[in-house]
Amino acid sequence: MSVTFEPGLLRAYFVAGSQDVPGKDLRVVLAEMLQAGITAYQFRDKGTSTLTPAERLALGRDLRDQCRAASVPFIVDDDVDMALALDADGVHVGQSDERIQQVLAATKDRQMFVGLSCSTSAEVAAANQLTGLAYIGSGPIYPTVSKDDADPVIGTAGLQALVAQANVPIVAIGGVTQESLPAIAQTGAAGVAVITLLTRNPQPERAVQGMLAAF
């Protein structure tokens, strides 16, 4: 059964693909994060990933089933065809990915929510004109090591301005640490989307609890 979008799902949003957990099975990692209490999961398998399309689809199916069993939304990054094939709960696209209008049209009849990356006021203004957008991902808030093509850092002041402007909830992404959670929460963001805070943390449970406490 698909998960209906509501802003609380953005509180502790885990993003990861096979490239983010070298030497580990992403299925095992996701199981640990679901147990810790994440509120959403985005399958972002790209960059240095060595999976074939068939392997990626099979992995995605297993991850989706895990999320479904935990009633946590399963979101696919940047690939509306895979999102449709996996019957994902949501799809997230960036400014340079597939055109957002096409994605909204393709998912309209599938009860699939759509998220869009926006890092500037102009991008948020354009997003405000869209019908059917569920949320915006904004950042990087701080310098990040997990995206080679990251936009310039916007900081918490930049984030706060975008939150005030946007018509939909914003999830903050990029360089988020446990220490920065209170400052990010003060901007009015709905939550944080993280990769390394969980994948490179010996105590990811504490980090998830920190996110849930902050938002």
Find, among 82, 146, 154, 81, the residue nearest to 122 by Cα.
Answer: 154
Which residue among 61, 68, 110, 147 is the active-site one? 147
Is 117 one of the annotated active-site residues of the chain?
Answer: yes
- Based on the residue annotation, tell me whether 108 is a catalytic residue of this protein: no
146 with 196: CB under 8 angstroms? yes
> What are the distances in angstroms from CA 187 to CA 29, 55, 65, 121, 160?
30, 39, 34, 15, 5
Give dist(CA 3, CA 47) in Å, integer: 28
The question of whether 11 is a catalytic residue gets the answer no
CA distance 23 to 21: 6
Which is the catalytic residue, given 11, 18, 44, 138? 44
- Pick the catalytic residue: 18, 117, 138, 146? 117
The residues that are catalytic are 44, 117, 147
